[in-house]
Amino acid sequence: MKALHTLKYWTILILLSLSLQAIGQEKQTITATDYSNQQIEMADAMRSNGKIYVVVSVILILFIGMSAYLVILDKKVTALEKKVKESAQA
């Protein structure tokens, strides 16, 4: 009985995944030509004059600053927890 159950389970699973495959054909695939398609407008100017690096470094600096803040906050909470633990024992 248990074997039949397992068989049923796997058959459903396989059939389901087959149907996924069938519908999956409709997916829009990305080809190598999409990477070189010059018809589509992209931020090429920012790349060629290097200005994009300015933007990326601004964003990185922001996040570094914020994570430093987060680390300090984390340490403060740890210190408080230690204090609380000590006063609980006392």
Partner 1 sequence: MAKNWWKVLTIALVLYTLWAGLMFQVPRLAILNETIRAMHFHVPMWFGMVILLLISVVYSIRYLAKPSDDLDTRAIEFANTGVLFGILGIITGMAWATFTWGEPWSNDPKQNAAAIGLLVYFAYFILRNALEDPQQKARISAIYNIFAFSVLIPILFILPRLTDSLHPGNGGNPGFNAYDLDSKLRLVFYPAVIAWTLLGVWMSTLRIRTKNLQTFLNDSEK
Under the rule (CB under 8 A), what is the footprint of partner 1?
20, 23-24, 26-30, 34-43, 52, 55-56, 59-60, 63-64, 67, 70-71, 73-74, 77, 80-81, 84, 87-88
Contact 29, 23 (CB under 8 A): no
Q: Smallest gap, in angstroms, from Cβ of residue 37 to partner 1?
A: 4
Q: Which is nearer to partner 1, 7 or 59 (CB)?
A: 59
Q: Smallest gap, in angstroms, from Cβ of residue 1 to partner 1?
A: 30
Geometric angle at alpha carbon 8, from 6 and 14, rounded to 5°: 100
Rg of the chain on CA atoms, in Å: 28
Contact 52, 43 (CB under 8 A): yes
Q: Smallest gap, in angstroms, from Cβ of residue 49 to partner 1?
A: 15
Contact 55, 47 (CB under 8 A): no
Q: Which is nearer to partner 1, 7 or 55 (CB)?
A: 55
